[in-house]
């Protein structure tokens, strides 16, 4: 049996843990730069606010319904996600982190007659340990477990867990479940299926397998088998390392001085290098790009990027920042207003498999020690306590006018209770 634990309205739930007064009130979370809505509480969904809704169009609605608005606070969300995963790992035989708010649970060893109670236990335990409400779905395959977890969200009387195993129950659910919401179907296939009058998961499961094979290939066949209760999507406990690490942002105000651009690029490369070290990898190439605001038609439009190959594989912020900043200076054009910049680290490989370069100009051992110290200090003192000088101390030039505190990752932001 497979389980799926999905956090309910995850970003909103994270904010509510530290501000319980938000319970029952409509809440929305905005994308980087406060551009559009990326998460909604159930109350906000009921008001008709859609994912991706532009924030500037919501003024009236926000005032009329007293909607609480937050800029996305990823430091808080990823730390809360880590806490949820920690609890899941402590009670399940094995887990597979699928995304920031979803984990698959391997339930081997849990007896069939105990699965229902176990699901409810997992749900209650995560709520108690972290304050985050979750929906646990349990069924024969990962695809069915996902459907079962969605049911929990629709029916509060399931109390956070749904064990869906009897064939007649599964059929009843699939007959009502929209085909586009089935894991693995996606937007690409749902249009084709709908044009053939296939609108529910049940309709899809009734299709001849030959048809599925010819139109949707292996991925579609796997989904078909999974809906019939035959597991085809394996359990992965090892998350594959990222093959590309990209950090890019739009700025709140356009940047037109080389100093500002240098500072932002140094900041992005520092963030990317930190991620690289966290997965114990090195990179041998990087991409740096700058771009103007494509909506400002009156301005000269400019997009430029450069791929730089490094003399030797590296994970040192000092070395990478030096190269990235020099590249950005070469790309920078005087009199141009830049709206966005980014860096991407590529040709990534595990650090231990690296071949050393004979005439290396860099003392790798020294850099390694420095980076270990840097990561330790930043982990303890909060992000960016120590930075490379080029990155400055101002942070990213982003609009984050509705940001909550970093309650769990920054000593200065710890929750205060006034009695």
Nearest residue (CB) to Mg ion, 101 versus 263: 101
3-class SS at 40?
Answer: strand
Looking at the Cβ atoms of 6 and 315, the one nearer to Mg ion is 6
Q: How far is the CB of 283 from Mg ion (least distance, A)?
A: 31
Query: 135 or 314: whose CB is closer to Mg ion?
Result: 135
Identity of the residue, 39 or 185, whose beta carbon is nearer to Mg ion in the bound complex: 39
Least distance in Å: CB of 39 to Mg ion?
9
Site residues for Mg ion, 100-139, by CB under 5 A, read: 101
Relative to beta strand 161-163, strand 134-139 is parallel
Yes or no: say if 161 and 116 are a contact pair by the CB < 8 Å rule: yes
Treating both helix axes as pointing N-terminal to C-terminal, what angle do 74-91 and 115-130 enclose, rounded to 10 degrees?
A: 140
Q: In the bound complex, what is the minimum distance in angstroms from residue 101's beta carbon to Mg ion?
A: 4
Site for Mg ion in 370-389 (CB under 5 A): none
Within positions 67 to 106, which residues make up the interface with Mg ion, using CB under 5 A? 101
Handedness of CA 172, 173, 177, 182 (dihedral sign): negative
Toward Mg ion, which CB reaches closer, 102 or 319?
Answer: 102
**Sites for Mg ion among residues 4-33 (CB under 5 A):** 6, 10
For the chain, helix (H) and strand (E) counts, in that order, are 13, 12
* Shortest distance, position 395 Cβ to Mg ion, whole Å: 28
Q: Among 1-9, 85-93, 137-145, 251-259, which window interacts with Mg ion (CB under 5 A)?
A: 1-9
To Mg ion, the closest distance from the beta carbon of 148 in angstroms equals 14
Could you tell me the two tokens for 329?
A: 């200076």
Binding residue count for Mg ion, defined by CB under 5 A: 3
Phi, psi dihedrals of residue 266, rounded to the nearest 5°:
-65, -35
**Alpha-carbon distance values, 202 to 76, 123, 188, 230 (Å):** 39, 28, 19, 15
d(CA 102, CA 145): 12
C-beta of 92 vs 325, nearer to Mg ion: 92
State the nearest-atom distance from the C-beta of 126 to Mg ion, in Å. Answer: 13
Closer to Mg ion by Cβ: residue 134 or 374: 134
**What is the C-alpha to C-alpha distance for residues 3 and 141, in angstroms, rounded to an integer?**
8
Hey, what are 359's tokens?
């005439």
Q: Which is nearer to Mg ion, 98 or 121 (CB)?
A: 98
Which residue has the CB atom at the shortest distance from Mg ion? 101
Query: Alpha-carbon distance 252 to 396, whole Å?
Result: 9
Rounded to the nearest whole angstrom, what is the least distance from the CB of residue 12 to Mg ion in the complex? 10
What sections of 305-403 are H helices per DSSP?
Answer: 317-331, 364-381
Encode burial over 271-286: b for 16+ CB neighbours within 10 A, e otherwise.
bbbbebbeeebbbbeb
**Rounded to the nearest whole angstrom, what is the least distance from the CB of residue 170 to Mg ion in the complex?**
22
Stretch that binds Mg ion, among 2-10, 256-264, 358-366, 402-410 (CB under 5 A): 2-10
Q: Footprint of Mg ion on this chain (CB under 5 A)?
A: 6, 10, 101
């Amino acid at each position: 049996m497979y389980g799926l634990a999905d956090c309910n309205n995850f970003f909103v739930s994270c904010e509510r843990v530290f501000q319980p007064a938000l319970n029952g009130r409509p809440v929305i979370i905005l994308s980087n730069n406060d551009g559009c809505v990326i998460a909604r509480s159930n109350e906000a969904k009921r008001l008709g606010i859609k994912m991706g809704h532009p924030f500037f169009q919501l003024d009236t609605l926000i005032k009329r319904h007293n909607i609480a608005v937050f800029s996305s606070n990823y430091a808080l969300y990823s730390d809360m996600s880590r806490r949820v995963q920690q609890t899941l790992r402590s009670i399940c035989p094995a887990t597979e982190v699928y995304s920031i708010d979803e984990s698959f649970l391997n339930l081997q060893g849990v007896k069939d007659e105990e699965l229902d109670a176990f699901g409810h236990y997992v749900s209650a335990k995560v709520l108690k340990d972290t304050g985050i409400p979750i929906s646990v779905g349990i069924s024969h395959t990962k695809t069915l477990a996902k459907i079962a977890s969605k049911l929990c969200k629709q029916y509060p009387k399931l109390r956070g867990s749904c064990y869906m195993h009897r064939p007649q129950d599964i059929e009843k659910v699939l007959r009502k479940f929209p085909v586009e919401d089935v894991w693995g179907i996606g937007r690409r296939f749902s249009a084709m299926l709908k044009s053939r009058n296939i609108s529910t998961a049940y309709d899809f499961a009734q299709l001849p397998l030959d048809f599925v094979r010819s139109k949707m290939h292996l991925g579609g066949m796997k989904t078909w088998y999974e809906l019939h209760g035959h597991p085809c999507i394996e359990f992965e406990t090892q998350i594959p390392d990222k093959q590309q690490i990209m950090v890019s942002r739009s700025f709140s105000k356009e940047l037109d001085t080389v100093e500002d651009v240098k500072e932002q690029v140094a900041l992005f490369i520092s963030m990317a290098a930190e991620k690289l070290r966290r997965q114990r990898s090195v990179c041998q190439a990087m991409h740096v790009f700058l771009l103007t605001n494509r909506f400002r038609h009156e301005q000269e439009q400019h997009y430029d990027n450069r791929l730089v190959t490094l003399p030797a594989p590296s994970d040192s912020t000092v070395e990478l920042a030096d190269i990235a900043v020099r590249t950005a200076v070469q790309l920078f054009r005087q009199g141009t207003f830049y709206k966005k910049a980014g860096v991407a680290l590529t040709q990534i490989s595990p650090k231990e498999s690296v071949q050393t370069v004979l005439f290396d100009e860099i003392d790798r051992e020294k850099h390694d020690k420095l980076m270990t110290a840097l990561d330790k200090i930043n982990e303890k003192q909060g992000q960016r306590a120590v930075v490379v000088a080029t990155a400055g101390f101002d942070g990213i030039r982003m609009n984050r006018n509705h940001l909550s505190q970093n309650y769990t990752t920054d000593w200065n932001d710890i929750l205060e209770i006034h009695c």
